[in-house]
Amino acid sequence: MPHHIELFSAGCPLCRRVEDMLLLGKCAGCKLEIYDLSRDYQTALPKIDNYRIKAVPTVVIDGRIRIEGLPQFSFICGEELYSWLDEKYPLSRQP
């Protein structure tokens, strides 16, 4: 099942590292959108508010999962990973 992955970035080295992880680990069917907040802040503002983005890098998957900072796991697209992320990083339970 394809997923919608959004990366909120500032173009910093850590953000680029997360971007590289996502580009390498996502499958061909998944859509990756990158919002560089150093350039696209106003455009991304509604999503920032909706997802309650407080730091960069932040990854949002399918509007349900939010991972702030450098993920401490390998990002390899698969339903097992997404199920684990949905349980560990649900957007609905995070402040």
- Structural domain spans, the chain: 4-93
Binned at pLDDT 50, 70 and 90, residue 1 comes out as confident
Architecture of domain 4-93: 3-Layer(aba) Sandwich (3.40)
Rounded CA gap, 25 and 33, in Å?
Answer: 14
pTM value?
Answer: 0.92
**Percent residues over pLDDT 90 in the chain:** 86
Rounded CA gap, 42 and 60, in Å?
Answer: 18
Q: What is the dihedral of CA 56, 60, 65, 71, to 10 degrees?
A: -50
Average pLDDT, the chain: 93
Task: Say whether pLDDT at 95 is over 70.
Answer: no
Q: Can you tell me the mean pLDDT for 55-79?
A: 94
What digits encode the pLDDT tens for the residues 13-54? Answer: 999 999 999 999 999 999 999 999 999 899 999 999 999 999
